[in-house]
Each structure stands twice: as structure tokens, then as C-alpha cells.
Chains A and B, each alone.
Chain A
Amino acid sequence: MNFRRFFLISVPYVWLLILFLIPFGIVLKISLSDTALAIPPYTPTLDLAGGWTSIKEFFSQLDFENFAFLTTDDLYWKSYLSSLKIAFLATFLCLLVGFPIAYGMANAPDEWRPTLMMLVILPFWTSFLIRVYAWMGILSQEGLLNQFLIWLGVIGEPLTILNTNVAVYIGIVYTYCPFMILPIYSTLEKLDGSLLEAGEDLGCSRTTAFWLITVPLSKSGIIAGCFLVFIPALGEFVIPTLLGGSGTLMIGKVLFEEFFSNRDWPVASAVAIVLLLILIIPIVLYQRNEQKMMEAEQ
């Protein structure tokens, strides 16, 4: 019996170990190394065959030089800041778009729901890359959007949208919206309708009931959705590269440059580790907040 319990508990930990801690350890190790013209392009590499002395030597060669380097050039913090700004705003826009959609879905007749759900998931059937490429066609000067707006008479001259930050926001909101919609939908769907009726019986207007009952009860879905959008948006590379202009500063692009143009895997890894730290802080804060709330409820 004890064994079974141990097994069940160990599964998520093994998962975490294999898919998070080990890769993290490898990246951390590279971030403490130096570049070299070799395969792989960094030194030192761990040679277990050399026994204890070679392991000791290996550790003595590691240092924090690359992290120090990140502070010498304002490119890095500016990119982190710009990524944070884009990710925050994109998450907020996703919430603005996603919540009404999820709300509409949750309040739709039962027989519609599977179809609506399908429509949200359907874009995933096409490759992400192809969908972003399609946006290039839509947003370009001669693209569908401009042609449509000119046809409507809203604008006289085609707008420059592609290769600007606006296109990046459109791309991120489009790509990650389903990750916002689905968790919110799942909390709204479970919402007990009688609570709203009770509220109205007690003299609440429908709008007040929405803000006092629906929104607080869907909070866990909103928070989950925001994390699911914010985290990948922060490190996004494909969307700013294809839709953004050369002025779009995002840490994903910096990472690419370090890795590919400079062949500096150690600095690239240091950039990635700092990115992870930036993500971990809000996640830990959120976790602590949740725990406190649970304790308060008990």
C-alpha cells in the first residue's frame, strides 16, 4: 500500500526531473561555460570517464562571466523590458477578446457547445508557422485587410501594418487566444446558475451580478489563461521575426542572435536562464497567494 502511494507521488516528480530539471541543469551548465571553436561550441565538457579529478576540474572552470556580460550592454535589459511590455499588453488584449468568447460559449445552448469548442480548436489543425505566414499575406500593403479597408472606403492609402509592433500584437493575440478561452470557458461552464438567480432575487442588476459573481468565480480560469498566454508570449520568436519589423525588440530574437549569429551558446544560455528567472518570480508569487487563500478558507 505504501509502495503504491510512493509510486503515485513519484510520477509527477520523475516527470519534473526529466522534462524540467535535467534540461535546466544542462542549460545552466552551458551558461557557466566559455565559447570554443569546436563541436559542441563551448568548453569545458563533462568527461565522466576521467573520474573524480576531471569532474573537479570541470567545476573549477565554470564561472558567472556570461551573466556579468549581460549587464554590460543595455540591449539585454531593453529587450527583456520590451518583451515584458509586449507580453503584458498581448495578454490583456487576449483577455479582452477571449473572455466574451468564453462567456458566449458557456451561455450558448448545450447542443452548440461542442461545435463552438471545435471552432476554437480548429486552427490548431494547421501548422502554427503556416498560420503566421498567412497573416503576412493578410497584413501586407497589398494584403486582404488593406484591400478590404480601401474597398470600404475607410482608408485611402494602404496602411503599413506588417513589420510593425501592431502586427506582432495581432499575431500573438490570434495565436494564443484559444489558451485564454479554454480555461475561462471551463470555469464559466461549471458556474452554478442558481447563484446568479439568487443575486437577482436579492436586487442585483445583471451587470452587478456579472461583476460580483461571474467574474470572481471565473478568476482561476482567468489567471490560468493569462499565464498560458503570458509565458509563451514572453519568449516568442517566430511571431516577432515574421510579422515584426527590424525595430521590434524581443528577447526571443536576441536569443536567436546570440545562438546563431554569435555562436555564443554560453551567453545565449545565460539569456535563457535570466528569462526563466523573470518567469519564475510571478509564478511563485501566484502560488503563494493561492496557498494563502486556501489556508484562509480552511
Chain B
Amino acid sequence: MLNLKSGAMVFAAAIAAQTAWADEVRVYNWSDYIDEELLAKFEAETGINLIYDVFDSNEVLETKLLAGQSGYDVVVPSGTFLQRQITAGVFQPLDKSKLSNAEHLWDTIQERTTRYDPDNAYSVTYMWGTTGIGAIPEKVHAVLGEDAPLDSLELVFNPENMEKLAECGVYFLDAPGEMIPAALNYIGENPDAQDVETIQKAEAVLSAVRPYVKKYNSSEYITALANGDICVAFGWSGDVLQARDRAAEAENGIEIVYNAVQEGSLMWFDQMAIPADAPNVEAAHAFIDFIINPENIASASNYVYFANGVNPETQELEADVIGDTAIYPDENTMQNLYTTSPWGPKAQRAATRLWTKVKSGT
């Protein structure tokens, strides 16, 4: 009798485990990239248990994906990385019939993402933005004078400016895929250069300002700017605006501005996609569909200060989001933005090596 009972319990537990597995979705997204209330809302609406992990570099995500069996159902790589990962067979095509909100996706953005994902078969855009300069004008003006070029690469790549800025602190992104195109753009080379020779021209630009860069990091500048520990960060649009928001909340009197650079900024797209070996494909589609629901994506954008992939006309974005040209650039700036394609293995190795050399001097 006892045996029978414990046997039944094991069986029941196994079923419970099975259903728990079936109703679970694992999402791997960038850090500081969502309104946490949305996550709770997703669980409440769908009854699906959500496990939400974060990363702060495409490289870490990619290595997990290429190793296989990452265990994630939804991941959010940037466009260039997505393109390469599609080639490697990492993703499965999306089942558009399961995405009832797909009709709201913004064609302006979708046109551009076909560069990475032809026909947008594997991914939908979560957020997009530009890479530019975050600055605390008061501090920058104090060291460089009133006419400091806050919206120009001159600010961060001209050693004369950087030498002075070192006093108040400058952070750069620790991402060769962002910094090398910017450096190439500064010297008038094609930022999307694929040949090793051109890529290596970025080294002189980056090494010349190396002594004045306090840190290379892709996430810490949000806090550092908000606290006023640094005065300039070369970073992602929404992150800088989050810093602005945090400083305002803390009422510490620090004012932060973000500018896409006049020489042209890199435009990037973070794409939601489903790995080929995702354990719960059904729930993955449910999550993506939930996120691109205009109401939900609007609250995400209102929170993280990044523009999203859904048509702005269908959603209620707050005035300081839709009205801010740092987030939704005007027509002129849009024309000026450039995109990059993924590097091949040789160019990638050259870029990584160059980046190590810039950072460590070896």
C-alpha cells in the first residue's frame, strides 16, 4: 500500500514537473532593457512562468548559442550578430500565424532589418537605437569651454579634447563592433569596411585617445553618468537617457544629454529570435507576441528610452520619448545614420586583436 502510494506520488510529481516545464519560457535579453512590471504582467496574462536572464555583450550570447542547448526560448542579439547566427543555423523561422500583433510592426524599421534577416523570417525588432555621445554639458563646458562639440566625434577622438576631458572622466563601450566603425567614420573611411587593412586604420585613432579613457565597459556608464563620476560616455542612446532619468530621480542636479554624432552614428537593431533548439517554442511565440503588443512595447519604451520596432502610430508613447530626437531621430539624422554588416572570421580576428592592442597596449 505504502509502495503504491509513494509510486503514485512520484508519478504525480513527474507530471507536475512536466507541466511546469511546458509552462515555462526562458528569455535572455540585454541588461537594463525592460520595465520589470511587464514581466509580471506577462506571467499574469498567460500563466506561463517566465525566467528572465540578462547579458551585456553580444559575444557572450553568441558563444552560448553556438555551443548549442542554451536552454533559452527567446534571445535578443543585435542585427549583425543575428545575421551570422542565422547562417550558422542557430534559429528557427518564426511562425507568423502565432504572432497576432505582427501587423503592428513598423515597416520603416523592417525594411532596414532585411539587411540582416532577409524577409524578416527569423526575428522581429525589439528596440533600435543609435550609438553616440552621452555628456554632462556643465562638466564638459567647464574643461573645454562653451563651444565644446557635444555632437561630434571630435569630442571623443581628438586627443586635444580628450586630454582635457580625462580630468572629469570618459568611458568608452567595450565593443569593437561599435568603436571601430566610429573611429573609421571619424577619419573618413567606410565604417562598414570589411578588409583588414582598412580596419587597422582605426587603431591609430583609438590608441591616440587611449590614455584619456578611464574605462572600457558596456554597461557601467549608466550609473557612472548618473552619479556624475564621469562627464562623457560613448554609448547607446537609450542607456544614456536612462542615466539622465536616474539622475533626475535622484535629484542630484546632474543634467545629461545624448547626441547622435553629426558625422553619422551607427544605427543598430536588437532582434528577438527563437533558437532552433528552444525547449518551448509555443511559449516563445507567446512572449514575442506579448512584447510587440503596442500597449506593452510602449510601456517598455517609455521605461528604457529606446525606440521600438512597432509602428509609433499604433502605440501611446510618452511625449518625452516620441518627442525626443535622441530616441526617434528626425528625418535628417535618420538619413545620416549608417548600419554595419558582420565581419568575416579574418576581419573579426583583426578587429579583436586591434581592440586588445588598444586597451592593453600589447
Residues of A within 8 A of B (CB): 35, 37-41, 73-75, 78-79, 142, 163, 246-249, 254, 257, 259-264
Assess the B362–A249 pair: CB atoms within 8 A: yes
**Which residues of chain A are within 8 angstroms of B349 by Cβ–Cβ distance?**
262, 264
Q: A39-B67, A40-B67, A163-B215 are in contact. Are A73 and B353 (CB under 8 A)?
A: yes
A249 to B359, CA, bound (A): 10
A257 to B362, CA, bound (A): 14
A221 to B146, CA, bound (A): 65
Assess the B362–A74 pair: CB atoms within 8 A: yes
A74 to B60, CA, bound (A): 26
**Which residues of chain A are within 8 angstroms of B67 by Cβ–Cβ distance?**
39-40
**Which residues of chain B are within 8 angstroms of A142 by Cβ–Cβ distance?**
229
User: Chain B 216-232, CB within 8 Å of chain A: the 1/0 string?
Assistant: 10000000000001000
Assess the A261–B215 pair: CB atoms within 8 A: no
A246 to B361, CA, bound (A): 9
Which chain B residues (58-92) contact chain A, with CB distance < 8 Å? 59-60, 62-63, 65-68, 84, 87-90
| Residue in A246, A254, A263 with the greatest tally of chain B CB atoms within 10 Å | A246
Q: Which of A40, A73, A246, A260 contacts B360 (CB 8 A)?
A: A246
A209 to B332, CA, bound (A): 83
**Which residues of chain A are within 8 angstroms of B348 by Cβ–Cβ distance?**
261-263
A246 to B90, CA, bound (A): 32
User: Chain B 321-358, CB within 8 Å of chain A: the 1/0 string?
Assistant: 00000000000000000000000010011001101110
In the assembled complex, B137 has its CB within 8 A of some CB on chain A: no
A74 to B356, CA, bound (A): 12
Q: A75-B353, A260-B59, A261-B59 are in contact. Are A39 and B360 (CB under 8 A)?
A: no
Assess the A246–B359 pair: CB atoms within 8 A: yes
Least Cβ distance of B173 to chain A in Å?
A: 13
Q: Which chain A residue has the least Cβ–Cβ distance from B67?
A: A40
Q: Which of A40, A74, A78, A257 contacts B66 (CB 8 A)?
A: A40
Least Cβ distance of A38 to chain B in Å?
A: 5
**Which residues of chain A are within 8 angstroms of B60 by Cβ–Cβ distance?**
260
Least Cβ distance of B104 to chain A in Å?
A: 33
**Which residues of chain B are within 8 angstroms of A79 by Cβ–Cβ distance?**
362
In the assembled complex, B159 has its CB within 8 A of some CB on chain A: no
Assess the A39–B361 pair: CB atoms within 8 A: no
Q: Which chain A residue has the least Cβ–Cβ distance from B169?
A: A141
Least Cβ distance of A30 to chain B in Å?
A: 12
Q: Which of B68, B216, B359 contacts A39 (CB 8 A)?
A: B68
Residues of B within 8 A of A (CB): 57, 59-60, 62-63, 65-68, 84, 87-90, 176, 215-216, 229, 345, 348-349, 352-353, 355-357, 359-362
**Which residues of chain B are within 8 angstroms of A257 by Cβ–Cβ distance?**
352, 356
A41 to B362, CA, bound (A): 27
Task: Contacts A263-B59, A263-B66 known; list 17 others, CB within 8 Å.
Answer: A38-B89, A39-B65, A39-B67, A39-B89, A41-B88, A74-B362, A78-B362, A79-B362, A246-B359, A249-B360, A257-B356, A259-B63, A261-B352, A262-B348, A262-B352, A263-B62, A263-B348
Q: Which chain A residue has the least Cβ–Cβ distance from B88?
A: A37
**Which residues of chain A are within 8 angstroms of B352 by Cβ–Cβ distance?**
257, 261-262
Q: Which chain B residue has the least Cβ–Cβ distance from A267?
A: B349
Q: Which chain A residue has the least Cβ–Cβ distance from B357?
A: A75
Q: Which of A37, A40, A247 contacts B359 (CB 8 A)?
A: A247
**Which residues of chain B are within 8 angstroms of A264 by Cβ–Cβ distance?**
345, 349
Assess the A261–B176 pair: CB atoms within 8 A: yes
Q: A37-B84, A262-B348, A262-B352 are in contact. Are A248 and B360 (CB under 8 A)?
A: yes
**Which residues of chain B are within 8 angstroms of A248 by Cβ–Cβ distance?**
360
A25 to B253, CA, bound (A): 59
| Residue in B57, B68, B360, B362 with the greatest tally of chain A CB atoms within 10 Å | B360
Q: Which chain A residue has the least Cβ–Cβ distance from B62?
A: A263
A212 to B355, CA, bound (A): 53
**Which residues of chain A are within 8 angstroms of B362 by Cβ–Cβ distance?**
74-75, 78-79, 249
A246 to B356, CA, bound (A): 8
Assess the B59–A40 pair: CB atoms within 8 A: no
**Which residues of chain B are within 8 angstroms of A35 by Cβ–Cβ distance?**
345
A259 to B356, CA, bound (A): 14
**Which residues of chain B are within 8 angstroms of A163 by Cβ–Cβ distance?**
215
A9 to B295, CA, bound (A): 67
A208 to B90, CA, bound (A): 68
Assess the A40–B68 pair: CB atoms within 8 A: yes
**Which residues of chain B are within 8 angstroms of A39 by Cβ–Cβ distance?**
65-68, 88-90
A75 to B356, CA, bound (A): 9
A183 to B67, CA, bound (A): 38
**Which residues of chain A are within 8 angstroms of B62 by Cβ–Cβ distance?**
260, 263
A37 to B357, CA, bound (A): 26
**Which residues of chain A are within 8 angstroms of B176 by Cβ–Cβ distance?**
261
Q: Which chain A residue has the least Cβ–Cβ distance from B61?
A: A260
Q: Which chain A residue has the least Cβ–Cβ distance from B66?
A: A41
**Which residues of chain B are within 8 angstroms of A259 by Cβ–Cβ distance?**
63
Q: Which 5 A-B pairs have the closest CB atoms?
A: A246-B359, A260-B59, A261-B352, A39-B68, A41-B66
Least Cβ distance of B90 to chain A in Å?
A: 7
**Which residues of chain A are within 8 angstroms of B229 by Cβ–Cβ distance?**
142
